[in-house]
Amino acid sequence: MSDDPLLALLDIDDADVAARWQRLDAWMQRRFGRPAGLEATLFLIGLQTHGTGFQPDLEKDRKQSLIMEGTYCAFETLGLYERVGMNEDGFWIWARTRPLPELDVEAQEKLLRLAILRYFEVQNLLPASP
């Protein structure tokens, strides 16, 4: 087990992460009528954080901005980023709070999934895992 809390997260059993992700996926299916992948989930987080609600005719660059907003919000729950202001478009300006370790693609995806799960738990949308 690592002394670095961020790397310690990556020590969480893959089966546990998969089970927690399945719970989130089931919640998404009940709530929205279909499963949501990583990108769609980050988009939803961005929408919620931005407070705009669903807008079916968003341009691609606006959708990408909301996905990035969702990514930062998720990583904020792990202490990786913090909000430091807001830009003229109404999006948060983010600052990294600590260096990120070099991770392979698999570990990056696991960390992102864990951040998303933590976001939904912090927002009390899912019960915290045991």
Q: Which strand (E) or helix (H) includes residue 95?
A: strand 92-96
Nearest Cα to 10, choosing from 118, 110, 92, 122?
110
Residue corresponding to tokens 């089970």: 19
Q: pLDDT per residue over 74-121, tens digit each?
A: 999 999 999 999 999 888 999 999 988 899 999 999 999 999 999 999
pLDDT of residue 14: 95
pTM for the predicted model, two decimal places: 0.89
Q: pLDDT per residue over 36-75, tens digit each?
A: 889 999 999 999 888 877 777 889 998 999 999 999 999 9
Q: What is the DSSP string of 26-52?
A: HHHHHHHSS---HHHHHHHHHHHHHT-
User: 3-state DSSP call for residue 120?
Assistant: helix
Q: How confident is the model at residue 27 (pLDDT cuts 50, 70, 90)?
A: confident
Q: From CA 126, how far away is CA 45, in angstroms rounded?
A: 14
Q: Which strand (E) or helix (H) includes residue 7?
A: helix 5-9
**Is residue 5 within 8 Å of residue 98, measured between CB atoms?**
no
Q: Summarize the confidence of residues 16-21 as an average pLDDT.
A: 94
